[in-house]
């Protein structure tokens, strides 16, 4: 909670977005598998913005990627418990860029987010997780602040009625 209340103090450097996200995606998956040894998830990274450089505080952005990916892995793991036996948990990360910005789409094939909750997922203390599972509802709120306030980007969530969730992040490219 203290991190949520604090201001950004991370020094910005030029980062290769795809390499940075790939590093933290792999770290996040391994950390999740350490906690859930039977968890198996197909992680696909599609680097369409290869070489796109952003200005960012590496640790803060890493925290943002870990928060987003932790939610995605939680969602697909939860869905796997109740889905058909042939369900394969998957998280797909795709980046694209133009001259001004890079867009990162992190998509899971979990149960999705209810339409009533979709607009609230970046609010402090809001969580879709059951009570007692140790979630504070600060992860995506903190992530929003890191990306929007600390890095001049944006973040939004999409979740179609048939399930799955996509978190869409845009960040300015360094000229």
Tell me if residue 170 falls in helix, strand or coil. Answer: strand
Per residue in 51-80, pLDDT (tens digit) is: 899 999 999 999 999 999 999 999 999 999
Give the end-to-end CA distance of the chain in Å, rounded to a whole number. 35
Per residue in 15-45, pLDDT (tens digit) is: 999 999 999 999 999 999 999 999 999 999 9
**Whole-prediction pTM:** 0.89
């Amino acid at each position: 909670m203290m991190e949520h209340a604090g201001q950004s103090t991370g020094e910005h450097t030029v980062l290769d977005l795809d390499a940075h996200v790939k590093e933290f995606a792999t770290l996040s998956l391994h950390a999740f598998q350490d906690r859930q040894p039977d968890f198996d998830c197909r992680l696909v990274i599609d680097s369409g913005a290869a070489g796109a450089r952003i200005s960012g505080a590496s640790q803060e952005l890493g925290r943002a990627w870990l928060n987003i990916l932790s939610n995605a892995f939680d969602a697909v793991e939860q869905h796997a418990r109740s889905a058909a036996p042939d369900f394969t948990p998957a998280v797909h990360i795709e980046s694209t860029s133009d001259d001004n910005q890079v867009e990162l789409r992190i998509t899971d094939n979990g149960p999705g987010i209810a339409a009533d909750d979709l607009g609230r997922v970046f609010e402090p203390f809001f969580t879709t997780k059951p009570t007692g599972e140790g979630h504070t509802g600060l992860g995506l709120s903190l992530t929003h602040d890191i990306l929007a306030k600390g890095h001049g980007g944006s973040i939004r969530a999409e979740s179609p009625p048939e399930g799955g969730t996509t978190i869409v992040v845009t960040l300015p490219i360094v000229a």
